[in-house]
Amino acid sequence: MTPTLQILQVILFTIPTLALVGIGLAILCRTVSIVDHRWFLAVFIPLLLANALSILIDDSQSYNWRVWLILGADVILIAVAIYVARGYQINGLSPETVIQVLTDDLRQQGFIVEVSSTDRRDLWDKTKEASLITAEKSGRLDQFWVTARFNEVLVRTEQRRSSCCLRTSLPALQQVEVPYDFKAHAAGVLYIILALVFAVMTWIYFFEPRFILIE
C-alpha cells in the first residue's frame, strides 16, 4: 500500500470518530439539541468507502464476482443510508412539547394543521406509536412523523419538500426555555464513548505493530 493511499484510509477512519464526538458534544452542550440525521452519514459513508478502498488497492485481490458483489453492496448501503437519513433527533424536550411548538409555529406561517395518533413501521418492521402532523397551505400538503425513543424525540418526513418546511420550524424548538436535564442528554455520552472506541480501533489497525507468528 502506498503512503498516499494509507493516509487516505486513515482520514476515512478518522472522520467517523470526529463526527461522533461532534454529535455527542452537540447533544450534551445545549439545553435543547437538534441533530440532523444527515450528520450520521459522516459516520457510515467513510467506513463504507474505506472498505471499498481496501479492496481496490489490494494487489493480491483477484477481481472475481465476490469482489464486485462486496463493492455493489457498499454502493447500495450508501444509497440506503442517504435515503434513510431524513429527519431530526431532538433532546431536551418531551414529544408533547415538540408537537405543540411545531403546530403553533406552522399555524403562524399560515398552515392548517391537524395532529392525529397512528402506528408507524420502522425499517426493522417494528410498529411504534407515532403522532402525525399534517400541514396544508395553498393546496400543498406536508406530513411529519413524531416518535419517541428513550429520552429522544424523532421527527421525520417522507418527502424532501416537507423537510424544507420542517426546517423553517426547528428554530422555534430551540427557543423553548426548559431546565437542563442531563438524563435527557445522556445519549451524548454514549456517542463520545463510541468515538473513543473508533479511535482506539483505528490506532490499533494502523499504528500498533503487528504480531508475527513464526511457525
pLDDT digits (tens, 9 = 90+) for 24-81: 999 999 999 999 999 999 998 988 888 777 776 665 556 667 777 878 888 888 888 8
| Total tally of structural domains belonging to the chain | 2
Is-contact 20 195, C-beta < 8 A? yes
pTM equals: 0.81
Q: Are residues 186 and 167 in the same domain?
A: no
Q: Are residues 68 and 97 in the same domain?
A: no
What is the domain extent for residue 132? 93-174
Q: Are residues 16 and 40 in the same domain?
A: yes
pLDDT digit string (tens) for 140-190?
Answer: 888 888 988 888 899 988 777 778 888 888 999 988 989 998 888 989 999
Q: What is the chain's alpha carbon radius of gyration, rounded to the nearest angstrom?
A: 21
Q: Dihedral, CA atoms, 64, 70, 72, 75, nearest 10 degrees?
A: -150
Q: Are residues 148 and 78 in the same domain?
A: no
Residue 103's identity, in one-letter code, is T
Q: Are residues 99 and 73 in the same domain?
A: no
- Tell me if 211 is assigned to some domain: no
Q: Are residues 10 and 78 in the same domain?
A: yes
Cα separation values, 126 from 10, 119, 129, 181, Å: 37, 10, 10, 29
Handedness of CA 117, 87, 40, 185 (dihedral sign): negative
